[in-house]
Amino acid sequence: MNGAELLVAALENEGVKRIFGLPGEENLAMVEALRRSSIKLVVTRHEQGAAFMAATHGRLTGTPGVCLTTLGPGALNLATGAAHALLGAMPMVMITGQKGVLSRKQARFQVVDVISTMTPLTKMARQIVSPTTIPALVREAFRIAQQERPGPVHLELPEDIAAEPAGEPRLIQPHPIEVPVAQPAALDRAAALILKAERPLIMLGAAASRPCLAGALSDFVKRVRIPFFNTQMGKGSVSGGAGLYMGTAALSERDYVHDAIDHADLIITIGHDTVEKPPFIMGPNGPTVLHVGYLPATVEEVYFPHAELIGDVGPSLTLLAQRLEGKLPNAGALVPLREEILAHIAARADESRYPLTPQRIVHDVRQVMPEDGIVCLDNGMYKVWFARNYRTRVANTLLLDNALATMGAGLPSAMTAAMLHPDRRVLAVCGDGGFMMNSQELETASRLALNLVVLVLQDNAFGMIRWKQAADGFPDFGMTFGNPDFVKYAHAYHMKGSRVDSADGLAPALDAAFAVGGVHVVSVPVDYAENSLVLIDELQAHAAERTRQP
Ligand SMILES: Cc1ncc(C[n+]2csc(CCOP(=O)(O)OP(=O)(O)O)c2C)c(N)n1
Ligand SMILES: [Mg+2]
């Protein structure tokens, strides 16, 4: 057994089934070891795609996704994926090659200090200096990647260490670890705050979407019957919701959901992670905030909770519910605001205009997606619309990145969702800018025979930035571009492509694409004139009306 074979055996020992990657010559021993292993090597067309795919594997399963690249140029292409997983708290293990460390037969060719590059982007970045250390290093890498707060780790395997005889060292077996539950004193304090609240409100944050949490969280909400809203990344973490969903805070203030937030006297934030754009801004005269999380809150100018309940969130919430159930006459105090908030959000969603409005696109996508269908967003203007308007009823069915908020992740993350859930409908939604950043992975998707529909919203612009430019009073400059013909582009990849050419054409086009199966690109022109009308003018008018009311 050599170093590479031992590394692969250690990955098998961790239960790894797939590695996403794009190897180089320094990885050849590793590639050969993979060929003879139970692990499938999923070759991508860009290392960034591999990293996004691995990160999404971690996000959706709670166990680290693994990606593999060569040294220097390949390893550096992982940087954005590492940052995406770090800010998004997605468990991921990145393995990169390196020239030999015991002798330098190629001098400094392609050598950059990848460990130093990865250090600020990971929870751990280590070079493997001897095969003997591999069992412990791999176990440690997986432990660190997976434990709260999850994130990426990096191991570098130099070419000569990969080839070095390793003997038959013992692998270290993983075992389950139960995280401690909140202390009784903290539970009592939290319960006291909630019992005395007159207008309580729950906020579900990014960590509420941990795959293991959906059941306990839904139970908690149903038992205490306090209405809830969510952050963008906390979307879908409560199934059903039983009439308690108040909206999604896609903007930081002044959206309709803030009518409820601004009236609350207690906000119980569950799993809030301040990597997200603030869902509300804490000020000196705001409501009391109780932070429930795996880890204490990071203190920010805009987030400084008054009390905390720290521990394994699911079991801690079960203990908290025991202290509260049936004792909260005020639980539903804010529920009467719900209807009006949701009505505002749903306004004009079925308007027949061409090019389509963002509201109509969200509405039609919801229509064709079953409850367990998964929508994966890239980053652009439509993210705000999907976060605000798309209703989710099953955990992790709207995947978006409101942390690094990088363009280019939508298609790769949808590919992983399609691999993990071949029985569900999976839709990638991308802008014409973000799609073109990783559209080469269409070839990977078709090689993997995935069933996946990619919806490309066409405005021939970096629409989000163009909108902000206009909103800030700058002249329209530098944000537009031309596009390939997306139907022909799909055909060039030997896949189906269609264009929506009427207001009522989107839902049937998506349905048809799903019915046929395989990878299918659907392009739809979008009219972003609604951005300013709805997100600025109407919200300003609403805010003015609210200040007029007593
Ligand atoms: C990698 C990366 N580069 C730049 C940005 C800044 N940015 C955010 S949204 C956006 C425009 C996205 O354009 P497009 O994908 O066409 O979506 P649209 O807003 O037009 O719907 C840009 C440039 C980013 N978030 N990520
Ligand atoms: Mg665009």
Cis peptide before 149 (omega within 30 of 0): yes
What is the whole-number distance in angstroms between the Cα of residue 434 and the centre of ligand 2?
A: 8
Token representation of residue 255: 């959206």
Say if ligand 1 is within 6 A of residue 434 CB: yes
Confidence (pLDDT) at 548: 79
Report the sign of the C-alpha dihedral through residues 244, 250, 256, 259, in that order: positive
Using the atom order of ligand 1, give the atom closest to the CA of residue 457. 21
pLDDT digits (tens, 9 = 90+) for 492-536: 999 999 999 999 999 999 999 999 999 999 999 999 998 888 888
Q: Atom 11 (ligand 1): residue with closest C-alpha?
A: 462
Q: Which atom of ligand 1 is nearest to the CA of 528?
A: 21
Residues 334-352 have a mean pLDDT of 94
User: What is the Cα–Cα distance from 24 to 212, expressed in whole angstroms?
Assistant: 36
Q: What mean pLDDT comes out for the span 180-196?
A: 98
Which ligand 1 atom is nearest residue 80's CA? Answer: 1
Is residue 334's pLDDT more than 80? yes
Q: Given strand 152-158, what is the order of strands in its sheet?
A: 40-43, 18-22, 65-69, 92-98, 152-158, 124-127
In the three-class reduction of DSSP (H, G, I as helix; E, B as strand; rest coil), residue 427 is classed as: strand
How high is the pLDDT of residue 240?
Answer: 62
**Cα 122–chain centre separation:** 17
Residue range 440-462: average pLDDT?
98
In angstroms, how far apart are the furthest CA atoms of the chain? 78
- Looking at the chain, the whole-number percentage of residues with pLDDT higher than 90 is 91
In the predicted structure, residue 549 carries a pLDDT above the cut 80: no
Per-residue pLDDT tens over the stretch 236-255: 778 766 699 999 999 999 99
pLDDT in tens, 36-74: 999 999 999 999 999 999 999 999 999 999 999 999 999
Tell me: pLDDT of 337 over 80: yes
Ligand 1 atom 13, closest CA: 462
Average pLDDT over residues 260-283: 96
% pLDDT > 70, the chain: 99
CA angle 226, 232, 234 (to 5 degrees): 50
Show the CA angle centred on residue 256, arms to residues 254 and 262, nearest 5°: 60
Q: Does ligand 1 lie within 6 Å of residue 52's CB atom?
A: no
What does the buried/exposed string (b/e) look like for 492-507 if buried means 16 or more CB atoms within 10 Å of the residue's CB?
ebebbbbbbeebebbb
Average pLDDT over residues 87-109: 95
Cα separation, 233 vs 272, whole angstroms: 9
* DSSP string across 289-320: EEEEESSPPPPBTTB--SEEEES-HHHHHHHH
pLDDT of 241: 61
Mutate to test the pocket of ligand 1, among 462, 466, 526, 527 (most ligand atoms within 8 A of CB): 462
Residues 111-137 have pLDDT tens digits of 999 999 999 999 999 999 999 999 999
The per-residue pLDDT for range 284-320, each reduced to its tens digit, is 888 999 999 999 999 999 999 999 999 999 999 999 9
pLDDT tier for residue 550 given thresholds of 50, 70 and 90: low
**Best CA proximity match to 248, nearest among 143, 377, 134:** 377
Rounded to an integer, what distance in angstroms lies between the CA atom of residue 425 and that of residue 409? 18
DSSP state of 39: P
Give the confidence band of 100 by pLDDT, cuts at 50, 70, 90: very high
SS3 168: coil
The verdict on the CB of residue 459 being under 6 Å from ligand 1 is: yes
Ligand nearest to the CA of 469: 1
Q: Which atom of ligand 1 is nearest to the CA of 467?
A: 19
Mean pLDDT of 259-283: 96
For residue 520, the Cα-to-chain-centroid distance in whole angstroms is 23
The pLDDT score that the predictor gives to residue 29 is 98
3-state class (DSSP) for residue 547: helix
**Pairing of the two strands 200-204 and 124-127:** unpaired
**pLDDT mean across residues, the chain:** 96
Instruction: Specify whether the CB–CB gap between 164 and 134 falls below 8 A.
Output: no
- pLDDT higher than 80, residue 9: yes
**Cα–ligand 2 centroid distance for 376 (angstroms):** 16
The Cα 114–Cα 73 span in angstroms is: 10
Q: Could you tell me which residues come within 8 angstroms of residue 447 by beta carbon, excluding any fewer than 6 positions away? A: 43
Question: If you average pLDDT over residues 394-403, what whole number do you get?
Answer: 95
